[in-house]
Every structure is written in structure tokens, then in C-alpha cells.
Amino acid sequence: MDRLEVLSAQLNKADLWDDPVHAGRISREHGSLMNKVEDVMAIEQELVEHIDMIKLAQEENDPELELESVKALLRIRRNVKQKELEALLSGEHDYCSCYIEVQAGAGGTESMDWASMVMQMYKSWAQHKGYGVSVVDEMPGEIAGIKRATIEVDGENAFGYAKSEVGVHRLVRISPFDSAKRRHTSFVAVAVIPILGDGSTRVQINESDLRIERFRSGGAGGQSVNTTESAVRITHIPTGITASCQNERSQHSNKASALAVLQSRLDQLEMARQAQMNAQHTQSLTEISWGNQIRTYVLHPYRMVKDLRTNYEVSDPDSVLEGDLDDFILSFLSTSLDKDEE
Amino acid sequence: MRLSFIRPISCCAVSSPTTLVKPQTPLFLRPPTFKTTLTDLKKWHLWAKSLASSVGSAFLNLDNGPDSNQLLRELNWLIEDAIGTPKSILEQPHKSRNGNSTVLIRTCLDELYVLWKQRVEERRPFQYVVGCEHWRDLVLSVQEGVLIPRPETELIVDLVDEAIKENEELRDGLWGDLGTGSGALAIGIARILGSKGRVIATDLSPVATAVASYNVQRYDLEEKVHVKQGSWFEPLRDNEGEFVGLVSNPPYIPSKDIGGLQAEVGRHEPRLALDGGASGMNDLIHLCDGAVSMLKPGGFFAFETNGDEQSKFLVHYIETKKQGSFSKVKMVSDFAGIQRFITGFRGR
Ligand SMILES: C[S@@+](CC[C@H](N)C(=O)[O-])C[C@H]1O[C@@H](n2cnc3c(N)ncnc32)[C@H](O)[C@@H]1O
């Protein structure tokens, strides 16, 4: 509120528009704060109205009206939760789109299957939130699941939310691949990389530092081969960092997507270099140690998902695996906010 | 290696594309006027997936054809092209979506069964099934009778781009794409030329010229790209010596290798687009010979070849038989590390 008053005072100054860039910034910030305040007041008003409505409905004995208002309250609750999440995002890159990467831990098919479950969880989560989701790179396991995969999640605040997922996810279940029906524990590492916007300074890549290779191209190539597979792998020679893409329909687009991933990996590396002074950094897959477990999913002998950082837990793993992650994210973000304030 | 240097016999030199061939509209551009239910569509999807999975690596082992993973990816693209509503509706098994809800598709469901059967059982190329190929940032219409442009060939546009960046005069001159097929190279190049730059694209095949013209029109390039029917340089007689650049991906597969090609290619793509004569180099040599009189001094050329052996031979041929005509002749490799192209400049 204080900030709003300061801004309003500035907006009322006669000489404001002498510096149009400054004025533009002030008026934009003012506008966006005003919107937020109005949103909150509207929610407050709606809340009061519906509570009154329920009271009235009970007095009048009108169950239909009551039900409608209860539904409205539920809707408001969802809405408020969303607003709360948004309020928690204030990191420099939180507004960015991002890549989510998963990598199966040791244990072969078992953990590769877990990796594809985790990937599916993020795809559904992102779709629910209305984000664009596309698979950039995917290395399938020999029998089932995936060894490694990268998806792009496109939309506002994607990085801010998804960064809560960085770390190792552990699964305990009766293996569907074990004929002896024994209990297995599998691990998957998750990394999240922001896709920096145009405003940010990005690492300069020299074309001559890149090696571009086509892979899985058997035989003579050219006219002799007709394949829709046009995967490329790009290596940044000075750092040895690679990126590949095979899900686009042309080689040109595969190359462009791989280059975009490479760019973000290099940006992330640069951020990591600067991380000593700046806590804004999320770890890459290679940096994540398998000891860094953040969440456990138990399907047997009991059912539970528990976040080891916040102790938040639920007893319905299915809904979590179907992408219902917001509560985990919310509790993680509020815990980190509290920590920051301490 | 014995080579025949016989010039290919040209049969007709009709200069305007008398298009009797009607180009087909690719699936993704047809209106979504067919209705089906989500349940029926899912049934088809399951069937199509299991057909794809049943292939395993059988085709891969047989003739380097597609394996199940590749076919499954193609199936996703078929859905992407065929469905009017977002394809994610097929991926939400848990959601309480009504199975009877209508889904709009761009061809009838029966046809989708036929198309996928053709893809897997007859090895009909996926690009003919959906009627298009994604090439560079373009989506080109293709159909039986026209070669499906290859990923390797995309690089020729990059080579042209580099040449133009080194010598801006090339940007506003006349370019030639010989044996244009779907029009891929002509369109790719036209899009990097300046306002005065023009491309003449030629092909002997009436299906190719019809499809190329259709693609040119779809990208609004009628002003820039002229499609002419005829054999190699014949439709270009009026423009001798005027070209600042020539590109071509002529047929280069040796005749004896045609029989052993991957089924998608050998059984379905036009022989006229593939067969380069006994050594595979009949047309490439004809093009090298002709380029001398067609190109302006300083003009650029880039030709695609079958790989290391042909590229080396051509560089040697130019250096010995065309001494002094060209400069900076070199081989360029594709992303698989094969010497796929030769490029050079007409001497000044
Ligand atoms: C390998 S395809 C290349 C098509 C296209 N440029 C591409 O890269 O996708 C060779 C093309 O040369 C054409 N062609 C074959 N003989 C020809 C001739 N004598 N004159 C002109 N074009 C010819 C074929 O019809 C075919 O379209």
C-alpha cells in the first residue's frame, strides 16, 4: 500500500512526463499494483456476498442456492491459492519460461519407468496451468521408460514455480517389472533451467565454437534415405556442453531447438559462476547429487507423498502423479520466503 | 571406376508449365469438416499404436527403414495434422471427458485407418500420407511423383546464405534451381534474396512443376520464383550468362543401386528423381559443364552429390576438365560428416 501511495504522488506531479521513460515505468507499476489491489478487494467482496448468501439460503431453506454459493466459495479458494502462489514469485527470472529435465537414476528399467512417470507428472501439471508444453529431447529406455528427457514449458512464471522441483525424487513401490513382486526404490533427478527473456544478458555463442552432428543417420543418406528422423546434437566445444533435439519435424527446427537449449544451459552455467553473490541459481543435472532428495513417493506398503524440505505430505499419490503439484510448490515457496526473511 | 559422360537426352522443352496435374492439398490445410467421437478416435489411436509397435526393428534391420519409435512419432504428427481440435484430448485418460463428445477431423475416420495401414504395411512414405514435408522453416506440399525433400538439402540454403553475405551483389541477381522437385530450394533461396532477386526453377516432371508452382503460390512468391518445365538448362536458354547463382540436387544414385533402396524410396518415390545413370553422375557432370556458360563471372554454384566419392570426382573433374572456369571449388560435408556438396565460383 505504501508503495502505491508513493507512486500515486509521483503520478500527480506536473513535470512527470518530462522524462517519458521514467514516467512510463511509474505508470506501468502503478497500474499493475492497482490491478492487484482491485483483485484482492473484489475477492473480499465476493467472499462476503457469498457468505451472506449462504446464511440467507439457510434461513429460507433453499438448498439449491446454498449449493451454488458453496461452489462459488470453492472457486474463490482456488483463485486465492493461485494469487498466493503468484505473490511468492519475485526472483529475477521467476517470470521466465523454462526447461524441465529429468534423468533416471541407477537401477535400469525400474528407474527409467519412474523417470517417465515424473515427466508425465510435469507435463500434466504444466498443461493444467495452461502452459505450452513440448518435448525437446527424449532418450527412451531399452525396455520401458526414459533415460533422460527435456521438455520446454512455455508461459508466465513457469520457472518461478518449477524451480521448486529441483532435486532428487524417490519412489517406493512393488515393481511392475519384477516377477517376484518385490519392493523397489528408484530415483530420478530433476533440473530446471530458465529461458532468459530478451531483456537479460545472454552468453554470446560463436558459430565456430559449435560442432553440429546428425545422429541415428544410418547409411548413405541423401536421396537414398527417406526418414522423418532428423535429430541433431550440438556441442559447444569450449565447455563440452551438449544439447540435442529430435522431436521437431525438420532438421532446421531440431537444430534451432537444440541451439535454444544449449543457449539456456550456457546461461545457467554463467549464472552458476555468479552464484556466489547471487542465490538466484538452480542446479543443472550434472550438479545435482543423488543425496539431495527432496521428495518421496510411496505406493507400497502405504500410500503417501512427502516433501522432505517442508514436511508437507498428502496421502493420495495418484493425484500428485497426475500433476496436482501446486500445494507442494506453494508450501516450498512460502518456506523459502520465510527463510529469506529470517 | 568407369564413367559415362553421355549427356542425358532431353525430350521436351516446354517452357510454360502446362499444368494438367492438379496438386493435392496437404491434410493439415483441409477444412476440419468430418466428425467423429472421442471414443472412436481413441479406438483408432490404439489400433494405430499397436500396428506401429508390431514393427519393432524389423524394417530397420531389413533396409534401414523406420522402427517403432519413429512410427509412433509419425503417428503423433499424423494426429497433429488430422485433428481440428488440440491433439491433447487423446492424452488425457483420467479426465472426465465425455466419450461421445464430437471431435472434428480433416478426413474421415475410415480414411485415417487406410492411411495408417498404407504407412506401415505398404511402407508409403509418411510425407505422402500427410501430403507435406517440414523442411527448414517451411511446410511444403508433396505427393507421389515428387521427391520428398531431404534434411541434408536444407544446408544448400545455408551455403547460399553464406555466399550472399560475402558478396551482397548476389542478393539481387538471378538464381537457378535445376530439378526443383517440390520447389524446396527455390523457395528457401527466394526468401533470403533481396527485393530484386529472382529464381527460375526448372524440372522435367510435370508433377514436380505443378507441385512446385503450388508451393511457390502458398508462400506468396509468384513474383520472385518462376517455375519452368523442361530439361536442365533448356528452359534457361534466354538467360544464358545472366545467373549469379545456380543450385541443384540432381538425381545421383547409380542405376544399379536403385533396386536395393529402402522401401519408402525405391517403391514410392519417382525414379526420374533418383537415377543418375550408371555412375550416378550423368546429370551432375552435365550441370558442371553447363554452369560455365550460364553463370556470370563471380557467380556461385552449389550441387548436392551422393557423398565422398562423387564429390571428390567432381572437384577433380572441374580442376582438370574445366581448368580456369571456376575458382574456390570445395567440398562441404553434411551433419553426418559425409562430403555431400560441392561449391565454387565462376572465375572472374
Ligand atoms: C533428387 S530430386 C531433387 C528435387 C528437389 N530439388 C529437392 O532437393 O528436393 C531431382 C529432380 O530432378 C528432376 N529431373 C530429373 N531429370 C531432369 C531433367 N532432365 N531436367 C530437369 N529436371 C530433371 C526430377 O524430376 C527431380 O525433381
Q: Give pLDDT tens digits for B295-304.
A: 999 999 999 9
Long-range contacts for B275-279 (Cβ within 8 Å, ≥24 apart)? B275/B251, B276/B250, B276/B251, B276/B252, B276/B306, B277/B4, B277/B6, B277/B8, B278/B2, B278/B3, B278/B4, B278/B254, B279/B1, B279/B2, B279/B3, B279/B4, B279/B254
Q: What is the mean predicted confidence (pLDDT) over B151-176?
A: 96
Do A225 and A332 have their domain in common?
yes
Task: State the residue range of the domain holding A15.
Answer: 2-87
Q: How far apart are CA B289 and CA B233, in angstroms?
A: 11
pLDDT of residue B224: 97
Task: State the residue range of the domain holding B241.
Answer: 146-346
Cβ neighbours around B118 below 10 Å, total: 16
Read off the CATH number of the domain in which B169 is found: 3.40.50.150
Q: What is the DSSP string of B173-236?
A: SEEEEES-TTTHHHHHHHTTS-TT-EEEEEES-HHHHHHHHHHHHHTT-TTTEEEEESSTTGGG
Do B173 and B125 have their domain in common?
no
* Ligand 1 and A223: CB distance under 6 A: yes
In this structure, of A33-37, B46-50, B234-238, B295-299, the range with the lowest mean pLDDT score is A33-37
Structure confidence at residue B280 as a pLDDT band (50, 70, 90): very high
Q: What is the mean pLDDT of chain B?
A: 91
Asked if residue B164 is part of any domain, the answer here is yes
Q: How far apart are CA B6 and CA A269, in angstroms?
A: 58
pLDDT of residue B7: 42
Angle formed at CA A228 by CA A226 and CA A234, multiple of 5 degrees:
110
* Ligand 1 and B138: CB distance under 6 A: no
Given a contact cutoff of 8 angstroms between Cβ atoms, the answer to whether A83 and A145 are in contact is: no
Asked if residue B259 is part of any domain, the answer here is yes
Record: contact B150-A222, CB cut-off 8 A: yes
Record: contact A223-B274, CB cut-off 8 A: yes
Decide which of A53, A87, A121 is a domain's last residue.
Answer: A87
Do A81 and A124 have their domain in common?
no
Mean pLDDT by 10 residues, chain A (342 residues): 77 81 77 80 87 87 86 84 76 89 91 96 95 92 90 94 95 90 92 84 90 80 91 94 92 95 91 64 69 92 94 95 94 78 54
pLDDT of residue A217: 61
Q: How far is the CA of B285 from the centre of ligand 1 (A)?
A: 14
Question: Residue B18 pLDDT > 70, yes or no?
Answer: no
Do B102 and B173 have their domain in common?
no
Do B237 and B337 have their domain in common?
yes
pLDDT of residue B57: 92
Q: How far apart are CA B344 and CA B325, in angstroms?
A: 10
Asked if residue B183 is part of any domain, the answer here is yes
* Residues sharing a CB contact under 8 Å with residue B146, sequence separation 6 or more, in sequence order: B181, B182, B205, B207, B208, B211, B270, B273
Read off the CATH number of the domain in which A28 is found: 1.20.58.410
Do B308 and B259 have their domain in common?
yes
**Quick one: cell of A279?**
542465490
Q: Which of A229, A248, A250 sits opposite B70 (nearest CB)?
A: A229
Q: Is the entire prediction scored with pTM above 0.90?
A: no
Decide which of B106, B130, B154 is a domain's last residue.
Answer: B130
Q: How far apart are the first and last CA of chain B?
A: 33
Q: What is the mean predicted confidence (pLDDT) over B156-167?
A: 97
Do B87 and B191 have their domain in common?
no
B77 touches chain A (CB under 8 A): yes
HSE-up of residue B223 (Cα within 13 Å, Cβ side): 7
Domain count, chain B: 2
pLDDT of residue A341: 54
* Residues sharing a CB contact under 8 Å with residue A322, sequence separation 6 or more, in sequence order: A121, A124, B94
Do B67 and B162 have their domain in common?
no
Q: How far apart are CA A281 and CA A272, in angstroms?
A: 6
Which residues of chain A lie closer than 8 angstroms to B152, CB-CB? 221-222
pLDDT of residue A340: 61
Say which residue, B327 or A70, is predicted with more confidence. Answer: B327
Decide which of A87, A114, A133 is a domain's last residue.
Answer: A87
pLDDT of residue B97: 59
Could you tell me which chain A residue has the CA closest to the CA of B69? Answer: A140
Say which residue, A6 or B317, is predicted with more confidence. Answer: B317
Record: contact B152-A221, CB cut-off 8 A: yes
Do A213 and A70 have their domain in common?
no
Do B313 and B258 have their domain in common?
yes
Record: contact A226-B269, CB cut-off 8 A: yes
Q: Give pLDDT tens digits for A22-75.
A: 787 778 778 777 887 888 888 888 888 888 888 888 888 888 888 888 888 888
Do B151 and B89 have their domain in common?
no
Read off the CATH number of the domain in which A98 is found: 3.30.70.1660
Decide which of A35, A61, A87 is a domain's last residue.
Answer: A87
Question: Residue B34 pLDDT > 60, yes or no?
Answer: yes
pLDDT of residue B55: 95
Q: Give pLDDT tens digits for B53-104.
A: 999 999 999 999 999 989 999 999 999 999 976 656 666 554 545 677 889 9
**Quick one: cell of B18?**
502446362
Q: How far apart are CA B136 and CA B240, in angstroms?
A: 30
Ligand 1 atom closest to B250 (CA) = 10
Do A200 and A333 have their domain in common?
yes
Secondary structure string (H, E, C) spanning chain A = CHHHHHHHHHHHCCCHHHCHHHHHHHHHHHHHHHHHHHHHHHHHHHHHHHHHHHHHHHHHCCHHHHHHHHHHHHHHHHHHHHHHHHHCCCCCCCCCEEEEEEEECCCCHHHHHHHHHHHHHHHHHHHHCCCEEEEEEEEECCCCCEEEEEEEEECCCHHHHHHHHCEEEEEEEECCCCCCCCEEEEEEEEEEEEECCCCCCCCCCCHHHEEEEECCCCCCCHHHCCCCCCCEEEEECCCCEEEEECCCCCHHHHHHHHHHHHHHHHHHHHHHHCHHHCCCCCCCHHHCCCCCEEEEEECCCCCEEEECCCCCEECCHHHHHCCCCHHHHHHHHHHHHHHHHC
HSE-up of residue A154 (Cα within 13 Å, Cβ side): 6
Domain count, chain A: 2
pLDDT of residue B270: 97
Structure confidence at residue B37 as a pLDDT band (50, 70, 90): very high
Do A141 and A257 have their domain in common?
yes
pLDDT of residue A278: 53
Q: How far is the CA of A288 from the centre of ligand 1 (A)?
A: 52
Do B229 and B307 have their domain in common?
yes
Secondary structure string (H, E, C) spanning A44-56 = HHHHHHHHHHHHH
Do B224 and B99 have their domain in common?
no
- Tell me the β-bridge partners of A202: none
pLDDT of residue B3: 41
Asked if residue B296 is part of any domain, the answer here is yes
